[in-house]
């Protein structure tokens, strides 16, 4: 078991470049992906190795990463008969970059601990561009010792890596992130929609108001594609709805009130109905202006 042997399970739009950064940083990466052609392409592009199952990819690895779709995918890839825990030896670290529930994080943490594997929930923000440029932000839940081991490795593809608390705390932090984005994007969409109806030039408006208390990353980075009616990129509405579903479930447990988040989640249902499941989250704007397109 070499210090440099790592596994990466799940080569989606995020995992593919993340695994690439690990290989470039000098780790000996063995990948697994459900669609094997993608794994083959990755090996062709980056070197490294690929395996036929998560368990095989993890065999002999000191640290294993995964980044899959949702709670169910995650359970399967970690706990399944050919799953990661079937391949990992004791005294290793399993880092999960999936945005999932805090519940599944704690469940997998307990299962992994049973065989001496330290599980870290480590969802990311920064999107596809952040993954490709290796500048993701990573929010981690789990034990300090495992975090200290994983931090430099995660640093291969992240600009900021932070331990937020015990198991589940990474997921919970990501949820706060999504809550803040939902209402903010809707407010921005309402503002730009109003600007258009008022006969103002949205570009000029943003130039002025982004200097003050209304400023946001979304305003600076999304207003242009919003008013240009261009949404074929970015963070998909389908993923946002999945995340908000996790948020709203968790709020039923912790008693938080999220009225605007709950409402915006319903507006995203409308975007899905319009055929926009793959559009960027900024497409909330299109709900107001779609009759004109």
29 or 206: CB nearest its own copies? 206
Q: Does 209 bind its own copies (CB under 8 A)?
A: yes
CB of 157 to its own copies, least distance (A): 15
Q: Does 102 bind its own copies (CB under 8 A)?
A: yes
CB of 153 to its own copies, least distance (A): 19
62 or 282: CB nearest its own copies? 282
With b for 16 or more beta-carbon neighbours within 10 A and e for fewer, the 60-83 pattern comes to: bbbbbbbbbbbbeebbebbeeebb
Strands 124-125 and 136-141: antiparallel
CB of 205 to its own copies, least distance (A): 5
| Dihedral, CA of residue 205, residue 209, residue 215 and residue 220, to nearest 10 | 30
User: In the window 220-259, what residues touch its own copies (CB under 8 A)?
Assistant: 221, 235, 241, 245, 247-248, 250-252, 254-259
User: Among candidates 122, 108, 66, 61, which has minimal Cα distance to 87?
Assistant: 61
98 or 173: CB nearest its own copies? 173
Among 23, 156, 218, 283, binds its own copies (CB under 8 A): 218
| DSSP SS3 for 94 | strand
Among 101, 156, 186, 283, binds its own copies (CB under 8 A): 186
Identified catalytic residue from 162, 174, 286, 292:
174
User: CB under 8 Å to 11, separation ≥6 — which residues?
Assistant: 19, 31, 33, 38, 39, 42
Q: Does 154 bind its own copies (CB under 8 A)?
A: no
CB of 106 to its own copies, least distance (A): 13
Q: Does 107 bind its own copies (CB under 8 A)?
A: no
Whether 286 is catalytic: no
Evaluate whether 265 touches 207 at the Cβ level (below 8 Å): no
Residues in contact with its own copies, shown as a per-residue x/- string from 57 to 86 under the rule CB under 8 A: ------------------------------
Sequence-ordered alpha helix ranges (H) in 7-134: 15-24, 36-46, 54-58, 71-79, 84-87, 102-113, 127-133
86 or 248: CB nearest its own copies? 248
C-alpha to C-alpha distance for 72 and 66, rounded to whole angstroms? 13
User: In the window 40-59, what residues touch its own copies (CB under 8 A)?
Assistant: none
C-alpha to C-alpha distance for 127 and 130, rounded to whole angstroms? 5
Residue positions annotated with a catalytic role: 174
């Amino acid at each position: 078991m070499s210090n440099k042997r790592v596994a990466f399970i799940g080569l989606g739009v995020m995992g593919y470049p993340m695994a690439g950064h690990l290989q470039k940083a000098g780790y000996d990466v063995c990948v697994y992906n459900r669609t094997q052609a993608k794994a083959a392409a990755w090996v062709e592009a980056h070197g490294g190795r690929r395996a036929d199952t998560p368990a095989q990819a993890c065999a002999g690895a000191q640290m294993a990463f995964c980044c899959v779709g949702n709670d169910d995918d995650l359970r399967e890839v970690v706990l399944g008969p050919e799953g990661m825990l079937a391949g990992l030896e004791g005294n290793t670290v399993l880092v999960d970059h999936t945005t999932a529930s805090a519940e599944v994080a704690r469940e997998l943490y307990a299962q992994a601990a049973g065989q001496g594997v330290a599980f870290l929930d480590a969802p990311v923000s920064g999107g596809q561009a952040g993954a490709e440029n290796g500048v993701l932000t990573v929010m981690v839940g789990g034990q300090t010792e495992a975090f200290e081991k994983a931090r430099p490795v995660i640093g291969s593809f992240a600009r900021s890596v932070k331990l937020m608390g015990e198991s589940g705390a990474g997921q919970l932090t990501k949820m706060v992130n999504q809550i803040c984005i939902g209402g903010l994007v809707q407010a921005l969409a309402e503002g730009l929609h109003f600007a258009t109806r008022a006969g103002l030039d949205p570009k000029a408006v943003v130039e002025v108001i982004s200097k003050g208390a209304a400023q946001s990353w979304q305003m600076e980075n999304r207003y242009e594609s919003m008013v240009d009616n261009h949404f074929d990129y970015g963070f998909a509405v389908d993923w946002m709805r999945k995340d908000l579903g996790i948020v709203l479930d968790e709020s039923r447990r912790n008693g938080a009130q999220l009225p605007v988040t709950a409402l915006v989640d319903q507006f995203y249902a409308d975007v899905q109905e319009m055929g926009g499941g793959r559009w960027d989250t900024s497409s909330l704007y299109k709900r107001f202006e779609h009759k004109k397109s």
